[in-house]
């Protein structure tokens, strides 16, 4: 089992498979994906298989495939299969902008995907397109419906932004009356490239929490929710609301996740260091060297992030670490 010096146990791997994205979300890649001057090689299927096997043998039971936009990988179906293969892995999830879901949800479920988090920052088409720099609203909503229809467990991710979607919160909740999904509001996090945007758009999720409580929504117990989100439900609504409040005190105390970037770097925190290069161990005959390297790196894991001090670590944007 991977365990750190604070006795936190890491059973959840967030695996980024590409930095590339076809959307231009204001808070992430407002100018779109920029190819770096030095060519990057993303993890191959063989390298992913070695990572997955090692993590599975070291206590990992859940893998989330992310990016960039993970579904832009041509071999995404094989990646899902590869993640689902070890018997220790009970859950294979994916975070996606949803643009390839309407055609592929069923196939990906058959390949072993069980959950999908789809990013949708507004249900107002004009606003959605403005936030994402695309005109893909209809396609994303069709993707959400396909995912629900084929039996995937669906959560929707919405990044809370002051002048974009904060005012629409009440209106957005209406959707949950008949939709059996969890709509998760994620408090905007600061990154190196988006400092000014953060200053303009950050709004504390605490305001949403107070609003929900006032309107009769009730928080589920944390054990039941099992993750960073605080989940709220209401007898009149089929869906639930999740709040991810990374600026809340003690947010990192129960951290259970490790991250691998698309170029094979281990990130101990979303807002940490440059990453520990695992590539040398991925093509190594010694089957134990990878686990040893991860255990050694874990000695450096800090108690928590330093976002409160406006320190996002080395994170230029979340597409680079697999947010
Ligand atoms: N492209 C996929 C997507 O958008 O779902 C996966 C990668 S994206 C980096 C993962 C999640 O991070 C998305 O839900 C996105 O909305 C969220 N995200 C990106 N930048 C963020 C930021 N600065 N603060 C909070 N959430 C952010
Ligand atoms: Fe792409 Fe996801 Fe970033 Fe939006 S949040 S630009 S979809 S990686």
pLDDT (tens digit per residue) in 166-188: 888 888 999 899 888 999 999 99
Residue 33 has pLDDT above 90, yes or no: yes
Query: Which residues, including other chains, have CB under 8 Å from residue 172's CB and lie 6 or more apart?
Result: 122, 123, 158, 165, 183
Mean pLDDT calculated for residue range 106-110: 98
What whole-number distance in Å separates Cα of residue 58 and Cα of residue 61? 9
Q: Which atom of ligand 1 is nearest to the CA of 21?
A: 1
21 within 8 A of 33, measured Cβ to Cβ: yes
* Protein residue with least CA distance to atom 8, ligand 2: 68
Report the SS3 class of residue 245.
Answer: coil
pLDDT reading at 47 higher than 70: yes
Residue 219 has pLDDT above 80, yes or no: yes
Pocket of ligand 1 (CB under 6 A): 21, 27-28, 66-67, 69, 95-97, 119, 157, 159, 186, 188-189, 191, 318-319, 323
Q: What is the pLDDT averaged over residues 33-51?
A: 92
Mean pLDDT, rounded, for 5-31 = 94
Position 311 pLDDT exceeds 80? no
Position 112 confidence tier, pLDDT thresholds 50, 70, 90? very high
DSSP secondary-structure letter at 306? B
Whole-number pLDDT of residue 39: 82
d(CA 160, CA 270): 18
CA distances from 94 to 62, 63, 114 (A): 11, 8, 9
Which of the four pLDDT bands, split at 50, 70 and 90, describes residue 273? confident
Separation of 237 CA from ligand 1 center, angstroms? Answer: 26
Full set of structural domains in the chain with CATH: 12-176+253-320 (3.20.20.70)
Average pLDDT of the chain, as a whole number: 91
Ligand 1 nearest atom to the CA of residue 66, by list position: 6
Predicted confidence at residue 60, as pLDDT, reads 96
Ligand 2 centroid vs 59 CA: distance in angstroms? Answer: 29
Q: Are 322 and 259 in contact (CB under 8 A)?
A: yes
For ligand 2, which residues put their CB under 6 angstroms from it? Answer: 21, 23-25, 28-29, 67-69, 97, 119, 319
Mutate to test the pocket of ligand 2, among 17, 20, 21 (most ligand atoms within 8 A of CB): 21
Q: How confident is the model at residue 97, as a pLDDT?
A: 97
pLDDT computed for residue 223 by the predictor? 60
Residue 323 above 80 pLDDT?
A: no
Would you state the pLDDT for residue 226?
61
Please compute the mean of the pLDDT values over residues 4-15 and round it to a whole number.
Answer: 91
Ligand nearest to the backbone CA of 69: 1
What are the b/e assignments for 12-33, b being 16+ CB within 10 Å? Answer: bbbbbbbbbbbbebbbbbeeeb
320 pLDDT band, cuts 50/70/90, is confident
Whole-prediction pTM = 0.94
Give the tens place of pLDDT for each residue, 222-238.
665 467 889 999 999 99
Mean pLDDT of 288-304: 88
Q: Of the given ranges (7-21, 31-45, 125-139, 241-255), which has the lowest mean pLDDT?
A: 241-255
Is residue 87 scored above 60 in pLDDT?
yes
Nearest one of 76, 75, 85, 19 to 52, comparing CA atoms: 85
Confidence class of residue 307 from pLDDT cuts 50, 70 and 90?
Answer: confident
Pocket test for ligand 1, best of 318, 320, 321 (most atoms within 8 A of CB): 318
Residue to mutate (ligand 2; options 28, 137, 140; most atoms within 8 A of CB): 28
Closest atom, ligand 1, to C-alpha of 67:
7
pLDDT score for 255: 87
pLDDT at 284: 81
Q: Name which of 53-62, 155-164, 221-230 the model is least confident about.
A: 221-230
Retrieve residue 114's tokens: 């069980």
**Which of ligand 2's atoms lies nearest the C-alpha of 69?**
8
Residue 157 Cα to ligand 1 middle (Å): 8
* pLDDT class of 160 with cuts at 50, 70, 90: very high
């Amino acid at each position: 089992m991977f365990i750190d010096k604070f006795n936190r146990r890491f059973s959840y791997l967030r695996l980024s498979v590409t930095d590339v994205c076809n959307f231009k979300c204001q808070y992430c890649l407002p100018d779109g994906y920029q190819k770096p001057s030095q060519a990057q090689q993303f993890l191959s299927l063989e390298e992913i298989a070695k990572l997955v096997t090692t993590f599975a043998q070291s206590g990992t039971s859940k893998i989330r495939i992310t990016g960039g936009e993970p579904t832009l990988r041509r071999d995404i179906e094989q990646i899902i299969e590869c993640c689902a293969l070890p018997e220790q892995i009970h859950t294979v999830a994916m975070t996606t902008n949803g643009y390839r879901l309407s055609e592929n949800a069923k196939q990906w479920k058959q390949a072993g995907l069980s959950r999908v988090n789809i990013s949708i920052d507004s249900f107002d088409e004009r606003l959605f397109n403005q936030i994402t720099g695309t005109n893909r609203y209809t396609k994303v909503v069709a993707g959400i419906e396909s995912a629900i229809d084929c039996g995937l467990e669906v959560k929707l991710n919405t990044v809370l932004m002051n002048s974009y979607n904060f005012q629409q919160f009440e209106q957005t909740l209406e959707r949950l009356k008949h939709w059996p999904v969890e709509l998760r509001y994620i408090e905007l996090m600061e990154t190196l490239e988006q400092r000014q945007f953060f200053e303009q758009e950050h709004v504390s999720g605490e305001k949403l929490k107070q609003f929900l409580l006032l309107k009769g929504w009730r928080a589920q117990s944390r054990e039941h929710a099992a993750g960073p989100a605080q989940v709220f439900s209401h007898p009149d609504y089929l869906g639930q609301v999740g709040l991810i409040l990374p600026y809340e005190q003690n947010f990192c105390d129960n951290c259970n996740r490790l991250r691998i970037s698309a170029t094979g770097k281990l990130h101990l925190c979303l807002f940490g260091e440059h990453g520990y290069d695992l590539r040398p161990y991925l093509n190594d005959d010694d089957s134990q060297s990878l686990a040893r390297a991860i255990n050694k790196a874990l000695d450096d894991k800090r108690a928590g992030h330093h976002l409160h001090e406006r320190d996002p670590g080395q994170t230029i944007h979340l597409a680079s670490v697999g947010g």
